[in-house]
């Protein structure tokens, strides 16, 4: 009954600006050890039909940011500040009921492990269909037809037969396709993909990323692609935001950030990414040191204890003053090095190492 392709909205922008607009987002958890500042003043924008890649080491706040957008944090233990506007509607401060209504219909998520999202006890078709019925009130038959249509769309062979399979009868790659089918069944405008291919082998990973790109072109979906892998960003994203300790340290178009990265942390990530350049089986070289405590952040730049270049900044700004990301759009970085200094270090010291 429903078709996959949606009529294009008259305008992708609301009066307030972008399709998704996150402003000064803060997410804090109260724990026994103190307050964890998992996201600490994050701003970004996303337009329909485009992909924002969010990259950073484990613990940098990528998932927490996106769970906040989806409204999936436990309100009893979480403080959320700032603003998240989706299509002009403020999401911060909405009730669980209201957000639940938006989830699935306007925004959906695909997880790293499909088995956390798919129940082992129901057929794939039933699970896709139930999501559809919940949001549209479609009949059982319509929901089943829709499930078959979605399985076709995500490239499951013999969809009319496989619709009655249980998740364990699908391979890992097919389960991931089924989860994509489930997340897209109500035509959400925003899709959040949290490490969607980390658990898959390289070939299947490429297929899934290509599938998401094709679906985006067809449906005009806005996608947030969360990953610790800059290779995934290079393959899928238009814009990229590099996160460190709950903040954005660099953002720009993928071209800008991968061609002329400016932040020492981004340089570290690039050096640790064998999948971007060089052979795939090369061992990872992680960024030296460990991420800071989010309860007691270092003063100044949160990256300064791990930074190889802080003594190239005159004065002691790196240890005393928090560098800010320029609020305007465009390629920006939160670093006390001058733009000329960043360029010089990148060209003369970092780029030759990357090969
Ligand atoms: P990642 O970038 O790997 O996705 P997360 O967003 O999951 O990182 O986590 C960011 C930080 O927030 C981590 O230090 C994590 O331990 C912390 N954190 C996440 N959820 C909670 C919670 N419910 N209570 C306390 N700390 C949390
Ligand atoms: Mg995560």
Query: What tens digit of pLDDT does each residue of 204-253 get?
Result: 888 899 999 999 999 999 999 999 888 899 999 999 999 999 999 999 99
CA distances from 1 to 4, 107, 136, 178, 355 (A): 10, 21, 11, 20, 53
Report the separation in Å between the CA atom of 332 and the middle of ligand 1, taken as the mean of its atom positions. Answer: 25
Is the pLDDT score of 286 beyond 80? no
Cα(226) to centroid of ligand 2, in Å?
A: 8
The best mutation among 64, 70, 78, 244 to test binding of ligand 1, ranked by most ligand atoms within 8 Å of the C-beta, falls on 64
Q: State pLDDT tens for residues 291-350.
A: 999 999 999 999 999 999 999 998 889 999 999 998 777 899 999 999 999 999 999 999
Give the tens place of pLDDT for each residue, 108-167.
999 888 887 899 999 999 999 999 999 899 999 999 999 999 999 999 999 999 999 999
The arrangement of strands across the sheet holding 239-244 comes to 107-110, 190-194, 222-227, 51-55, 239-244, 247-253, 332-333
CA dihedral 219, 224, 230, 233 (to 10 degrees): 20
Compute the distance between CA of residue 101 and CA of residue 49 in angstroms, rounded to an integer: 22
Q: How far is CA 8 from CA 5, 109, 118, 218, 221, in A?
A: 9, 22, 31, 11, 11
Residue 199's pLDDT band, with cuts at 50, 70 and 90, is: confident
Q: What are phi and psi of 61, to 5 degrees?
A: 105, 15
pLDDT score recorded for residue 341: 95
Q: What is the mean pLDDT of residues 11-26?
A: 76
pLDDT score, position 4: 45
For residue 21, give Cα distances in angstroms to 44, 201, 215: 6, 34, 23
- What's the pLDDT score for residue 114? 80
How many CA atoms does the CB half-sphere of 185 hold within 13 Å? 33
Ligand 1 atom having least distance to the Cα of 294:
14
**For residue 161, which of 143, 147, 181 has the smallest C-alpha distance?**
147
Counting ligands in written order, the one closest to the CA of 245 is 1
Taking the model in full, what pTM does it have? 0.91
Q: Which atom of ligand 1 is nearest to the CA of 56?
A: 2
Contacts of 16 (CB under 8 A, 6+ apart): 85, 88
Q: Which residue's CA is the nearest one to ligand 1's atom 27?
A: 29
**What CA–CA distance (Å, rounded) separates 239 from 252?**
6
Å from CA of 37 to ligand 1 middle:
9
Is the per-residue pLDDT at 279 higher than 80? no
């Amino acid at each position: 009954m429903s078709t996959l392709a949606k009529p294009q909205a008259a305008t992708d922008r609301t009066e307030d600006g972008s399709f998704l607009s996150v402003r000064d987002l803060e997410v804090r958890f109260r724990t026994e050890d103190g307050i964890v500042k998992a996201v600490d003043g994050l701003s970004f924008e996303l337009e329909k039909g485009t992909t924002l890649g969010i990259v950073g080491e484990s613990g940098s706040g990528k998932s927490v940011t996106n769970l906040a957008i989806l409204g999936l944090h436990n309100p009893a233990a979480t403080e959320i500040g700032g603003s998240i506007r989706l299509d002009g509607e403020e999401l911060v401060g909405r009730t669980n009921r209201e957000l639940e209504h938006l989830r699935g219909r306007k925004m959906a998520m695909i997880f790293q492990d499909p088995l956390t999202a798919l129940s082992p006890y129901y057929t794939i078709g039933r699970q896709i269909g139930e999501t559809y019925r919940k949001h549209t009130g479609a009949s059982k038959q319509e929901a089943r037809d829709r499930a078959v249509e979605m399985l076709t769309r995500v490239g499951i062979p013999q969809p009319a037969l496989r619709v009655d399979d249980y998740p364990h009868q699908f391979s890992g790659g097919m389960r991931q396709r089924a989860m994509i089918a489930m997340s897209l069944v109500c035509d959400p405008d925003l899709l959040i993909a949290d490490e969607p291919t980390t658990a898959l082998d390289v070939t299947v990973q490429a297929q899934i990323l290509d599938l998401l790109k094709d679906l985006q072109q067809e449906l005009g979906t806005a996608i947030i692609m969360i990953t610790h892998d800059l290779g995934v960003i290079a393959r899928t994203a238009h814009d990229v935001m590099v996160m460190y300790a709950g903040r954005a340290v660099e953002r720009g178009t993928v071209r800008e950030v991968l061609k002329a990265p400016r932040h020492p942390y981004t340089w570290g990530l690039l050096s640790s990414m064998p999948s971007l350049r060089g052979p795939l089986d090369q061992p990872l070289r992680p960024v030296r040191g460990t991420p800071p405590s989010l309860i007691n952040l270092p003063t100044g730049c949160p990256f300064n204890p791990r930074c190889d270049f802080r003594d190239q900044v005159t004065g002691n700004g790196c240890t005393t003053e928090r560098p800010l990301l320029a609020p305007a759009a465009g390629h920006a970085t939160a670093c006390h090095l001058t733009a000329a200094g960043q360029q010089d270090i990148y060209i003369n010291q970092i780029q030759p190492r990357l090969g």
